[in-house]
Structure 1
Amino acid sequence: MSDMNKDSSAKLLVLTGGPGAGKTSLLTTLQCMGFPTQEEAGRTIIQDQQRIGGSALPWIDPNAFAEQMLGWDMRSYRHAQQESAPVFLDRGIPDIVGYLELCGLPAPAHLDKAARTFRYDQVFLLRPWPEIFVQDRERRQTPDEAARTCEAMERVYSRLGYQLTEVPRGSLEQRAAFVIDRMNGRG
């Protein structure tokens, strides 16, 4: 990792927004640049639940799905804390609160407490990007739902006192450079 990356005081960095905004692709790019990363809980939980015929799926049991994500995200948080370098996370615990709000469900007290207790150093928001949005077996949301998801994440993180940094559209290299600059206090 270059010296440019080591001088950051930000250690836990979240990429959030709606589905299909390029978060996972940006995370992969940052990982290829040498940054430790933690992948999103949702997609893997969906894949695992489908594989075993489980019901902790957003379209079957949103509360069970949220609990699965909470366990995953708290574990990811702990793993990220053990790294000496800054770590990028594909979503954070507040995303679960936003997800439940989108479903019209209240966040249980323990989830709200987790979102307030497990704090991140910096949050990057990726807005919907219709030109790159793709539906698949795990991503069943429509572009409209993706936009509403982004708005929910922005509301929840703001309500929790985070100042979000919006990542502009561009090539993966441009987006990664933007995030690294902001992470290091430049720009």
Structure 2
Amino acid sequence: MSSRPIILTGCSGAGKSSTLAELACAGYQTLPEAGRRVVETELASGGEALPWKNPLQFVEKAVETCLNDLSCLDLTGGTSFTDRSLIDLIAFLVRSGITVPGRLERLLDENHYSTTAFIYAPWPHIYKTDMERRHDFDEARREYEHLIEFYGSLGFNLVQVPQAPIEARVRFILDFCGHSGHLT
């Protein structure tokens, strides 16, 4: 059975990546966050495609990574999950006040993902900054609010993930998916 990837979205530092790692351990196909991988690569190479230096170039590289990930996904292999999505990248440009190039805007019309997405709220207990995540907790809150609005404008059904231990988050997601992990 073919299924589209299910998005884990929400603000930075809210527990998406740790949940995704646990889903991978449970045998689900997973796609790690493209943007974070771009930041890691750019920092290591001294590149400029960073969200705080050149947001458009950052998004272009992250979109390319994301599309490559999607093309490698085995959609006949059952349920898959992705840490963020093309939608998050475009929402970042909009929130930054940067005009979204037409080719990127058209990606929003393509049906890449399940129409139900899991959203993570800001969680001060686990939030921390690092070399790749430089913005503060207040910025994470604003990011969260923007993502709710942006995903909603595209017709997504957003399901709030509880602020709980990783295993409980995974169980919540799988229970919501009907134990089989399948959503429409």
> Is TM (by shorter chain) over 0.5?
yes
- Return 110-119 or 128-137, whichever deviates more: 110-119
TM-score with structure 1 setting the length: 0.89
- Selected match of 2:40 from 44, 47, 57: 47
Residue of structure 2 in register with 1:184 after alignment: 178
SS in 2 for 1:180: helix
Distance in 1 (CA, whole Å) between partners of 2:158 and 2:74 is 21
**Structure 1 spans left out of the alignment, 5+ residues:** 1-7
Distance in 2 (CA, whole Å) between partners of 1:32 and 1:185 is 16
Residue pairs, 1:83-122, within 5 angstroms: 83-121=76-114, 122=116
Kindly tell me the number of residue pairs found equivalent between the two proteins: 179
Residue pairs, 1:31-180, within 5 angstroms: 31-121=24-114, 122-180=116-174
What fraction of aligned residue pairs are identical, expressed as a percent? 34
Cα distance, 1:185 vs structure 2: 7.6
Inter-CA distance 9–163: structure 2 relative to 1 (3 Å threshold) = farther
SS in 2 for 1:116: coil
Distance in 1 (CA, whole Å) between partners of 2:41 and 2:33 is 13
Cα distance, 1:83 vs structure 2: 4.7
TM-score with structure 2 setting the length: 0.91
**Structure 2 spans left out of the alignment, 5+ residues:** none
- Return 60-69 or 72-81, whichever deviates more: 72-81
1:26 aligns with 2:22: no
Q: Deviations over 1:3-58 (max 9, x none)?
A: xxxxx975410100000100001001111111110000111111111111111011
Root-mean-square deviation (Å): 1.8
Question: Does the Cα contact within 8 Å between 1:123 and 1:165 map onto a contact in 2?
Answer: yes
Residue of structure 2 in register with 1:3 after alignment: none
- Return 110-119 or 175-184, whichever deviates more: 110-119
Question: Does the Cα contact within 8 Å between 1:101 and 1:152 map onto a contact in 2?
Answer: no
Cα distance, 1:106 vs structure 2: 2.2
Cα distance, 1:157 vs structure 2: 1.2
Distance in 1 (CA, whole Å) between partners of 2:151 and 2:179 is 20
Write out the 4+ residue segments of structure 1 that deviate beyond 6 Å after TM superposition: none
